[in-house]
Structures are given as C-alpha cells and as structure tokens.
Structure 1
C-alpha cells in the first residue's frame, strides 16, 4: 500500500571512542507492511581487520550473532505492534532489545524513515545493502594488503619530529623515487638514512593461490635485480617488509617466496612480526645524533 514504510539503521564499528571515524558493518531494516526485520552484516569483518590491529573479532562476532537471534525472534511475532512505531520508538526498541546505547565499539546509527510506495521489500533491502554494505566490503576485500604493512610500520614512528630530524641533513624521505638505467621510475613509500639509504617497500603475500605467490615473488625479484647497479653506485639498501598469507596451507609457498627474495643483493627482509622492531631501529638510527 502507498502508506507502507520502512526504517533502517546502520550498525557501525568505532575502533576508538575518541575518534569520529566509524565503519559500516551491518544494516537493520524494518518493514511496516509485514512487521518484519531484516539484518545483514559482514561475516568476516574484512574491513575493520584490514584497517586496524588488535580488533576484538570474537567479541564482535558474538554480538552480531546475538543481534541476529533477537531479530529472528521478533520477526516471528505475529501482531501489529510495530506498525505504530515512529523513528524514535524504533531507536528505543533497538536499545532495549538489541544493543544498548553506550560507549562500546558497536553502535547503531540514527534511524531513517521512508515510504515504501510500490517497491517490494526485497528490492529495498538489496538497494540499501549495496549502498551501505556489500559493495564496500567486496571492494575492500580485493584491495592489496601492502597499505596495512606500511601503516603498522609508520604508526610506530609517530611522535618523531621529522622536521627537526631533517633540519641539518635529510634523514627521512616520503615517496622516494629511484630511476633505473632506462629511465623507469620506482617509488618507495619511505626511505631513511643510517650510512646507507634504506628504501622501504611492502610486499604482501596474503593471496589466495600458490601460483599468485610465486608470480609475485618472481616479479619483485626481477625488479630488484634491475636496480642492483643503483644500489651499488648510490649506497642503497632495499628494506622489504613481507606480509604472510592468512591461510596456513600457503605457508610453504611463502617460505619459497622468501628464499627467492633472499637472492636480491643489497636487501634486508623484514617479516610481518618484525615490523615493530624494525620501526624502533629506524627511530633510533635517525635520531641518535640529534
């Protein structure tokens, strides 16, 4: 009917209550035409695990399962009580029955209220999911994992006064560019000086296929062999931060990839669990003479 309406709230994750940023991980929809709820959420929490370290994954998943069970229970209630719900009432319903309004990392947004017109419930649900949730998760899960390795490294350098460090001589660079003999330009996210100039590059092997890991290792091996003369003539070192596969079944391929990269001259390999130690070393070396 023309007077039917739907309401929806976005379930958001806030890693730090003091920050304004949040990430959509679920969406709750209520349809007045049948007094039913729909709740869709990220099953693997790929976005928040990609962006943040130390995510309480088990706790979050337990909350999500509880909310889902409650939604299923209320969706089986056959009465008209929800037809009279206004936006604020729905928010109170969520607070009392699904998730309390407090300072925890999971919070529902303010609810939106729209007329349904002649659109089917499934169509509206699909549109909302594509707009706020599913496409974003698919896009994000296909992104390269290198930025996470860099974030872990640089976050452990925060607090350094880079302007003071570089006041007398250049000791730390961002987006350092290196040209090979043919004029091709290679950009390194960071570079720092301690005798040699150490060029930092992340290489993630968190891939799905053994073949992809081998191909990526060979590609990088070829690129750095091409830059060996630069390293020799300019006193460079290639500091390669390596990301390990999530799947244990690919550890053998990863070990093989590491052995291939060990053939690169003028290089240092830093595995994922060594990033903090490597960042500490960077900090010490570029500040020890200040």
Structure 2
C-alpha cells in the first residue's frame, strides 16, 4: 500500500472585500518519509504588473523564511509524528502562523506517494498549480556571473545618470588578507558605513554537484576573509542567480542559506538587483 502525503497552497489575499486570492506557493509534507518541501515561483513580475500594490519584496522575504523553516523541520523527523492525525494543523502551527494577515495557507489536501523521488512529486504539483509563473522564463539564457555583474552595473549607471565612469565601474578591488599570502579580487566596492565588496556568484548550473562544489568554494573564501572583514568593517555582497532547472531549486536554496549564515555576508538575489542598485547609487551620490 502506497503511503500518502499532504499539500497546501500558499495564498495571498489581495482583496478580502473582492475575494481576490492569488496562489503563490506550494507546501508538501510526507509523514512517512519525514520530509517537507516548499515550492514557489522565482519571479512574481506578472502579479506586480496586474497589482501595482503587490508587496513583492515582502512576499519574497516570506519565501526565504519558509524555505529556511522547512530545512530546519527536515532535521527534526519526530515533529511529523505530532501531526499524523491532525494534518490540517501542520502548515499553521509549524510553517506560518495563521492570523489576519493577507498571506495564509489554504485547505490541506492529501495525495498518494507515487514515486520515491519526493522532489519529482513536488515539481509535478508545482507545475499543476503554479506553472503560469514560469512561462515568461521559458527561453531565458544562462544567467552567469558576467550577466549578474552587467545587470548590476547597468542599473547603477542608470540611477547615477552617467555620474560614474566606466573606468571606475570596471576597476577591480584587490584584497590581501594579512598573514595568508592569498590575493582575492572583487569587481566592485562601495561604502555606506561598511565597506561593501561586490561579488557575483551564479548558481544557474545544470548539476547539483556543480552547485555543491561552487558553494563550498565560496564558503571557504569568505571564511578565510572573515578576519579581513572584521579588521576593515567590510561586508561581502554576493549577487546570486538561481538555476533554470526547477529540480535544482532545493540545492540552490541550501547553498544560498549556507552563504547567508556566514558572518559579514549579504545575499542579493537576482530579483533584488534593482533595489540593491538603488541603495548603492544613493550611497555613491
């Protein structure tokens, strides 16, 4: 007999009076396998165009928080036993407390585990409920480090209206941590109380192992640079891009969380480049 899983749609209640409800995320949990998975769209541009007041930045912050919570719960398998007879309580008690806010989980439904690959089930149900968000990305080219850096610099020059030269933008910053003999280069730096060193790190890759190797390399680098950051009041602003392959979202989220947990590291996801460029421009003005 196949085991079962439960799922619930994360909904944004845009207008209580008009009954406008937008499906923006999907939570699945597997009691027997003691696993929970959260899937969400990487881009919310379509909603923002339809609803100018849609709090995109806040919603994405919730996405990151929910993802972090699922990673914590997957390390506590006994928690799933508590909800074996009360599955409908799991999302509100363990993921997002139900209150009067616009963001809530919908009704809990049940499905049959039809493959041992739980990520495939999550992907299948994502495409069933949320596929429309990804249609605009179907033909997206690879967003590598060069793409991230170019997008950042383009946004910055636009906001500064040419008041920063290309030579300044293209002049790399060399960092030499004391006592190590090592040398690191960052393509750009700016200051607003802290000395912010910008580094693009793209996870738009094809293999999970590639993501693992890349995050391991960068965790090592920022660990070596920690004394430098403490001595120079520095921060490392890491511009990241997610993979096109939705099946790699989980290792991507784990990689980004590993970097975010490091001291003196700030993560700037691709969708945050506009607001980050604006903050940089304000400091440079």
Q: Which is higher, the Rg of structure 1 or of structure 2?
A: 1
Aligning the two structures, in what range does the TM-score lie when normalised by the shorter sequence?
A: 0.3 to 0.5
Q: TM-score, normalised by structure 1?
A: 0.46
Q: TM-score, normalised by structure 2?
A: 0.46
